[in-house]
Structure 1
Amino acid sequence: MSTDPLTEAFEAQRERLRAVAYRMLGSHADAEDVVQEAWLRLSRQDAASINNVAGWLTTVVGRISLDVLRSRRAHPELSYDDLVVTVDDGPEPEDDAVLADSVGLALLVVLDSLGPGERLAYVLHDMFAVPFDEIGKILGRSTDAAKMLASRARKKVQGTERPAGTVREQREVVRAFMAATRRGDFEGLLRVLDPDVRLTVDTPGGVVVTIGATEVAGRSSRAPGTAAAAMFREVLVNGLPGFVSWRADRTPISVLAFTVVGDRIAGIDLLTDPGKLAAMDLPDPA
């Protein structure tokens, strides 16, 4: 039984396309949706009209991902499809795989701070070696403009490949942040926050994004659930240090997820939406 040539070509590229889409979007579920949409578009094409299937598919995935990024800018929303919260009982893992995951999360935080065009140019060129002339066509810009976007993105990304420290070292940074938050210690918060830290708060009323150490330090002492929490528990969120808080009746108030780069916090995700919290598999209070 013969297989359609386009199907074979697509399957040969599937993993690469998924990797491209994930680096563009930072969500496995969104990446899978993009790859599936690329397949649907390919299936409607005449094979004879495509000279380079791999290049055609990369272009399509890039354009779809760009549309998703632009939509996110207009309507920000957090994705918790890959968020796994587990008890942080220690001893902590300190092997290379954990550190690599930490650096990967830090990079995703930085990528989230890029504009859609910057992110596409950087991901496609620096991570997947797509020529700038092809990137320019996806963006509807010149080759030189695509190079400039990638250059700007590259400067912002510099530093995320530094060792993120062991899980124990990251946890100490997070503990210092939590202690300063409870005290309302603005200067203490500034000492542990990266200058370009990104705080994303998912509330019942929508998503609020704050960027910058001064702004985040100002908001953190008034973070939803800090004063009302009767119980806190250290957890691992996707293998990295975090916290869950509960009211006295054991109703969850929030999940805090941190990305630590070096000795500073580069990203904080704060989930306070009761509906989403109820749907998560959270540990019991200690």
Structure 2
Amino acid sequence: MNVTGSVFRSVERRVAAAAALVAATALITSCSSSPSSAAKVPGTTASAGTNTGASKTIDQIIADEKPAAASLIPHGSTASTIKARGTLNVGGTQTAALFSLLDPTTGKIGGFDAALSQLLAKYIIGKPRTKLTNVTSATREALLKNHAVDAVFATYTITPERSKIVDFAGPYYMDGLALEVKKGNDSVHTLKDLKNKTVITESGSTAATIIKKEAPTAKILLFDTNTECLQALQQGRADAYILDQGILAGNASTNSDVKVLAATYSQEPYGIGLPPGDAGFKRLVNHWLQKIEADGTWAKVWKNTIGTQVPGPAPAPPKIG
């Protein structure tokens, strides 16, 4: 079941009201042990610590996270290596509003994925210390296979093909592919309307396959990041942009010249990407996910990130495994 498709149906009607919430969303930050460890460029440490009410709530959620019992992190395990290092190396992004977005005024990253990565770091290390490496749809698998990162939190859809290359914990969230167009564009309502038109998506995403199936005569433009895709749409270089509806909703919340169409065309289960062949680490991360879902932490994070733009209670998280 696509648990987020229905809650995003009203995104288009809420775009005007969403602008008032942008500051709170952008400033929801992930947490660190030091205010000086803000993630300003790839490879630096993500951090919380702003003075907004929403940020304080996220900070408190992370502060309340209990570290894993010592028996869950045996000597010689991946988790013990991370704990000894004192930092969780995270593959992520700085351009996905509501999920993982860099606030240029503070140099800090906030959102659903950013907060979850901090919670996992707190669980393993005892302190919410992460080091962010920017990833794209085309680079995630290589970074995991090369052990350049410990985990990828990047709206990373689990697919059979990807599961042959890397491991996944979760899924921890369910989304669906949707369309975004410029305000005033009344020629595109569904995928069928993309016949002989130009459509944008991220390279390495699952969206290109859907386009080729539903609108085989459409011209596809590929870009590495959500920011590049959005800019191309705003510049009129394409008629529509297709990607996960949650990401598109984040774009619409911070850019009043675009709108998200209601329909979704897939189920996109997001997983935490892990290096392949490490069953023990995967069990630990899944155990942590089960814990934060059962104790209400997952719902609290959703409410203070994605839920700032989507009304109603938090959706039920998808079944792990």
TM-score range, shorter chain: under 0.3
The one of the two structures with greater contact order (alpha-carbon pairs below 8 A, sep at least 6) is: 2
Greater radius of gyration (CA):
1
Normalization by structure 2: what TM-score?
Answer: 0.22
Normalization by structure 1: what TM-score?
Answer: 0.24
**Whose helix fraction is larger, Structure 1's or Structure 2's?**
1
